[in-house]
Structure 1
Amino acid sequence: MDFIELTVEAPRELADILVAELGEVGFDTFEDNDAGFCAYTTEAAFDPDGVAEIMARYEGLGELSHSHRVITRQNWNAEWEKNFQPLIIAERVSVRAPFHPKPAGVDYDIVIMPRMSFGTGHHETTALMIENQLDIDHRGLRVLDMGCGTGILAIMAELLGARQVLAVDVEPWTVENAADNAAENQCRTIECRLGGVEVLAGEAPFDLILANINRNVLLEDMHAYATLLPSGKPILFSGFYEEDLDKIKNEATRQGLVYQRHRTLRSWVSALFVKA
Structure 2
Amino acid sequence: MDFIELTVEAPRELADILVAELAEVGFDTFEDNDAGFCAYTTEEAFNPDAVEEIMARYSGIGDLNHSHRVITRQNWNAEWEKNFQPLIIAERVSVRAPFHSKPDNVDYDIVIMPRMSFGTGHHETTALMIENQLDVDHKGLRVLDMGTGTGILAIMAEMLGARQVLAVDTEPWTVENARDNAAENQCRTIECRLGGVETLANEAPFDLILANINRNVLLEDMHEYARLLPSGRPILFSGFYEEDLPKIQAEAAKHGLRYQRHRTLRSWVSAIFEKE
Question: Normalising by structure 2, what TM-score?
Answer: 0.95
- Local SS of the residue matching 2:150: coil
Alignment-derived partner of residue 160 in structure 2: 160
CA shift digits 1:235-269 (9 cap, x unpaired): 11111111211221121112221111111111111
Segment of structure 1 superposing worse, 57-66 or 133-142: 57-66
CA shift digits 1:136-167 (9 cap, x unpaired): 00001000001111111101100100000000
Alignment-derived partner of residue 172 in structure 1: 172
Displacement of 1:206 in angstroms is 0.3
Counterpart amino acid of residue 129 in structure 2: M
Counterpart amino acid of residue 2 in structure 2: D
Q: Distance in 2 between matches of 1:189 and 1:74?
A: 29
CA shift digits 1:26-84 (9 cap, x unpaired): 22333333322222222212111111112112212221111112222111110111111
Displacement of 1:91 in angstroms is 0.7
Match status 1:15 vs 2:24? no
Any conservation in 1 of the 2:145–2:153 contact (CA below 8 Å)? yes
Any conservation in 1 of the 2:138–2:162 contact (CA below 8 Å)? yes
Q: Distance in 1 between matches of 2:3 and 2:86?
A: 24
- Local SS of the residue matching 2:238: strand
Alignment-derived partner of residue 105 in structure 2: 105
Any conservation in 1 of the 2:28–2:41 contact (CA below 8 Å)? yes
CA shift digits 1:110-141 (9 cap, x unpaired): 11111221211111111111100000000010
Instruction: List gaps (5 residues or longer) in structure 1.
Output: none
Q: Distance in 2 between matches of 1:183 and 1:21?
A: 34
Match status 1:240 vs 2:240? yes
- The residue correspondences of 1:133-152 to structure 2 (distance < 5 A) are 133-152=133-152
Displacement of 1:3 in angstroms is 2.3
Alignment-derived partner of residue 127 in structure 1: 127
Segment of structure 1 superposing worse, 241-250 or 3-12: 3-12
Alignment-derived partner of residue 230 in structure 1: 230
Question: Normalising by structure 1, what TM-score?
Answer: 0.95
- The residue correspondences of 1:31-42 to structure 2 (distance < 5 A) are 31-42=31-42
Equivalenced residues, count: 276
Among all aligned residue pairs of Structure 1 and Structure 2, give the percentage whose two residues are the same amino acid.
Answer: 88
RMSD: 1.4
Give runs of ≥4 in structure 1 deviating > 6 Å.
none
Instruction: List gaps (5 residues or longer) in structure 2.
Output: none
Counterpart amino acid of residue 75 in structure 2: N
